[in-house]
Amino acid sequence: MSLEGRASPESGHDRARVGARVRARVPLAVPRLAWRPLGGLLGPARGDAGQSLAALMLSATTSLITGFTIAGFQSTLRQFPGLLLFIPAAIGLRGNLFGPLGGRLSTALRTGTFSWSWRLDSTLGQNVAATMALSVTAAVCLGVIAEAFAWVVRVGGVDPIGMADFIVVSVFGGTVASLVVLLITLALAVGSARFGWDLDNVTAPLVSASGDFVTLPALVLATMLIRRGWFTRGLAVVMTLVAVALFVLIIASTLSTCRRIVQESLPVLVGAGVLSLIAGLTLEASIDRFLTFTVLLVILPGFLSTGGALGGILSSRLATKVHLGFVESSLIPRGEARTDIAITFLLSVPIYLFLALLAGLISGPAGKTSPGFLVLIAVALTGGMIVTTFVAAVSYYSTLLVVRFGLDPDNHGIPIVTASLDVVGAATFVGALRLWGVA
């Protein structure tokens, strides 16, 4: 049964006609070509595989830098108890906001509905407005939930920073980071139009990379505004009121695309934040296992980020092909869906190998202890294959489920994958360490 025409409640026969027109004039994103060295190994299209692999390597490298950066902010984390618990969710929110934005822009480019118009009622204007409104609204929700989590665990037996502090850090730091990542996402859209890139291949890993790199310093900058008594509490109240006002204005507006993005995305973003906070609790409980070999602290952000980026690429490609009518609903993936899943697995091997080798190379001179290259590679590849299997299944079946309920997979695919991966990825990494006798 074809999925075209079911990606949104209002699509109907119009979606089918759009899919037919696009199929008539646009080549498949992954054409079936004969075997070729390297190009054939990484997928039927050399360009798609090369774009994805380059973006994934950049994402992995940036995530390793993030690992070192977290270690450099240890004094700040000790000064503000509970902040470490909040960091994974805050970083993940950038990817969950701008990965779907890139996916929606990719779909618009492929279907011919995109134009560089900054009018609020244009496709670009509504997408940008919805994403920035969600950045503020979801950040307030995340700050409130983080305070509840912090009080439950009472990190280190010390009272955590207050709810107002969490809200200010979340909104201010998140907004600064979101503005930077927004510019990067729009630059990728420009590049896709100018150089023929496929946004589905590069958005998820590059947004993940920029989110990792930008969010943590922005959060640290925001700590200058917290624990300042009535000033911090008043600022938190203003930020909360702004978030509520933005939500109400969009829901009451006539901007149908903007309204739908916010309505569909906010519950998913909040749910993703909860799962990311649970992952933070899991890692916090297992932190002693990482102290013997400190290189594991360096590679962990890259391990989680790489899995999320692979799942993001696959989710974005599947969502675009659903809109174009190239994916059929079936229990076992078929056709283009099977091809994209196979490419995801083939990309995962070199990127996890690259991650392990790079972490081992740079951690030695930095004074980080390591169980050795071979063990590090074994842990990365074993855990990586398990994670890739998980993200492939979640990406495919969540896309089918979202479409069956008449929702847009561009709004849901990446947040669902990355949120569930935070929990599963952390547990998988610890499990791989135990398997190879490291922890």
When pLDDT is cut at 50, 70 and 90, the band that residue 238 belongs to is very high
Lowest mean pLDDT among 132-141, 267-276, 315-324: 315-324
If you count DSSP H runs as helices and E runs as strands, how many of each does the chain have, helices first?
15, 0
Mean pLDDT of 289-311: 78
How would DSSP label each residue in 23-58? HHHS--SS------TTHHHH-S-HHHHHHHHHHHHH
Give the domain ranges of the chain: 12-435
pLDDT tens digit string along 302-354? 888 888 888 878 888 888 788 777 877 788 888 888 888 998 999 899 999 99
> Quick one: pLDDT at residue 36?
36
What pTM, to 2 d.p., does this model score? 0.67
Q: Which of 26-40, 231-245, 260-274, 364-378 has the highest mean pLDDT?
A: 231-245
Cα torsion through 415, 195, 355, 291, rounded to 10: -50
pLDDT tens digit string along 362-371? 877 767 777 8
Given a contact cutoff of 8 angstroms between Cβ atoms, the answer to whether 203 and 312 are in contact is yes
> Quick one: pLDDT at residue 422?
74
Nearest in space to 351 (alpha carbons), one of 100, 88, 50, 69: 50
> Quick one: pLDDT at residue 16?
45
Neighbours of 318 (CB within 10 A): 29
> Quick one: pLDDT at residue 20?
47
- The residue among 382 and 198 whose pLDDT is bigger is 382
> Quick one: pLDDT at residue 284?
59
CA 41 to chain centre: 26
> Quick one: pLDDT at residue 158?
63
Mean pLDDT of 58-63: 78
pLDDT tens digit string along 11-20? 434 444 444 4
> Quick one: pLDDT at residue 72?
64
Lowest mean pLDDT among 34-38, 113-117, 181-185, 290-294: 34-38
Tokens coding 170: 């979340």
Is pLDDT above 70 for 39?
no
- The residue among 139 and 423 whose pLDDT is bigger is 139
